[in-house]
Amino acid sequence: MSEPTPADRAAALDAADELAKRRELFSLPEGVVYLDGNSLGALPASVPARLADVVTREWGELLIRSWEESGWWTAPQRIGDRIAPLVGAAPGRIVAGDSTSVNVFKAVVAAVRLAGPGRDEILVDETTFPTDGYLAESAARLTGKKLVPVAPVRLADALGARTAVALVNHVDYRTGRLHDLPALTAAAHAAGALVVWDLCHSAGALPVGLDAHDVDFAVGCTYKYLNGGPGSPAYLYVAERHQAGFDSPLPGWNSHADPFGMTPGYVAAEGAVRGRVGTPDILSMLALEAALDVWDGVSVDAVRAKSLALTDFFLECVREYVPAGRVTSVTPAAHAERGSQVALRCEGAGEVMRELTARGVIGDFRRPDVLRFGFTPLYVSFGDAERAARVLGEVVG
C-alpha cells in the first residue's frame, strides 16, 4: 500500500479539525489561499450587514441619540471586555480605541511615571516593529530617560536597578519567534521594573495569560488575527493594580471622570477608562465588535493546537515540495518558541511572492529576503497549507 500523499494527509487533518466549520463565518474569495491574516485578517461575513445598520439606522435615523441609545459611548469598554478573554484578562482591564502606536506611547510613558526613583532606562526589543522603537525613543526623550535597545534573548540579563520599563514584542513580526512572556515578565518584576507587551502578532493566535502572568501593561491591534478590518481600533490593557496610578500622557476628555462637565481641570476616571483619549471611531469600532462574533464558543487553546499543527504540516510540505536549498525557515522549530506564522528566507523573495500571489497564494514579503505566511486557524485549512507549499515548490523549482 502506497504512502499517503501530502494532499491525502491534508484531507484527513481537515476532516478531523474541530475548527473547520468556522471558515463558513468568513467571506473569502473562491480559489484563493489566504496566508496574510498576520497583516490583515479576512472579512467576517457578519460585518457588512452590521455596518449597514450602523450607518443607515443608528447614524442615519437615530443621529446623535445613538451615543446613548445604541451604546456608542460605552463601546470602548464593552469591546475591551470582548477582547479580554482572548488574551487572558478579566473584565474592566482593557479599553479599545486609538492605534497600537498611540497605545504604546500611553503605556510606556505611564509605566515610566510609575517606576521608582533612580530608574532612568527604557529597554526596548531591538528587533521590534519599527514604530514601537520610534515611540519608545520619543517616550525616552519626553521623560528624560535613556533608551537601551536589547535583543530579547539578552533582555533578562539587561534588566537591573536602572530599568524603569521594558517594551517587548510577544511574537517577532519578521521571524514568528515567540518570546517567553511569563519568564521575562517575572524577570522584570524581580529587577523592580515594569514591562509593556506588544501582542499584535499573538492575540487571537495563541494563549497570552495577561492576568495569570502578572503583566503590567499590554497593547495590540485588532486587524490581524482578530479580523477587525483595516485600521480597526487597537486596545490597551492596564493591570488592575496599576489603574489607580495610571497617569496617561494623553489625558483626553473621554477619560475624564466627568467628561460632559467640560471643566478646565483634568480629573481621571476610574479603571481602564483612563486609557481613553478622544472621541472613538464608531464605524470601525462597531465593525470590530461584529467581527468578534466569530470567537463565540471558541477555545484559544484549540486555536493554538491547530496553529501549531498547521505550521508543522506546512513545513513538512515545504520539505517535500520545495527543492533543497531554495528556502530556509527562520521560524523556530520548537513549539514553545513559535507564533502562528512561518517565515522562509528565499533568494528573490519579492518576485517569488508576486508570482505566488498571481497563482492565488497570498502571503507577504519582508525585505530583503523573507517570505511570510500567516496561519489563522479560524479559516485556514490544512488543504490551504498543502496547496501553498506545492505552489511555492513550483515557483522556486
Q: Mind telling me the catalytic residues?
A: 129, 198, 223-224, 372
Residue type, 285: M
Q: Which three cell numbers mark 12?
A: 484527513
Number of continuous H segments (helices) and E segments (strands) in the chain? 13, 15
Q: Which three cell numbers mark 267?
A: 480629573
| Contact in structure between 167 and 130 (CB atoms under 8 Å) | no
Contacts (Cβ under 8 Å, ≥6 apart) of 163: 119, 121, 122, 123, 188, 191, 192, 193
Q: Which three cell numbers mark 268?
A: 481621571
The residue behind cell 477582547 is 83
Give ∠ CA 389-312-361 in degrees, rounded to 5.
25
Strands 327-329 and 194-198: unpaired
| Selection from 35, 50, 170 nearest residue 100 by Cα | 170
Question: How far apart are alpha carbons 68 and 109 in whole angstroms?
Answer: 32
Question: How far apart are alpha carbons 190 and 228 in whole angstroms?
Answer: 36
